[in-house]
Amino acid sequence: MTKDELVQSVAAGAGLNNAEADRAIKALAETIRSTVAGGDKVQIPGLGTFEPRERSARTGRNPQTGATIEIAATTAPGFKAATAFKNQVSGK
């Protein structure tokens, strides 16, 4: 599904015009991004949880040279699907 198809689907489902649906989707995405970047979780019942995940520092290997390198600790975004979402996708 493309963004335009998503906008049209949300507009039809919520009784909005395409411009309003587009603004709503952009606002939702920005809210999720800023909240997770701030270190908090966003839980959407029936869909899942967006959260920051800590990755510890570790030793890696350069695949071209085989040299050992240190990989710094980072924070990455994570998503855990809700049970209802998993069941719908798997057909249960």
CATH homologous superfamily of 42-92: IHF-like DNA-binding proteins (4.10.520.10)
- Whose CA is closest to 17, among 27, 28, 6, 7? 7
Tens of pLDDT, residue by residue over 31-69, are 999 999 999 999 999 999 999 999 999 999 999 999 999
3-state SS, 6-62, equals HHHHHHHHHCCCHHHHHHHHHHHHHHHHHHHHCCCCEEECCCEEEEEEEECCEEEEC
For 27, phi then psi, to 5°, come to: -65, -40
Tens of pLDDT, residue by residue over 11-38, are 999 999 999 999 999 999 999 999 999 9
pLDDT of residue 92: 80
pLDDT at 71 over 90: yes
**Taking all residues of the chain, what is their mean pLDDT, rounded to a whole number?**
96
pLDDT of residue 36: 98
- Enter the pTM of the model: 0.81
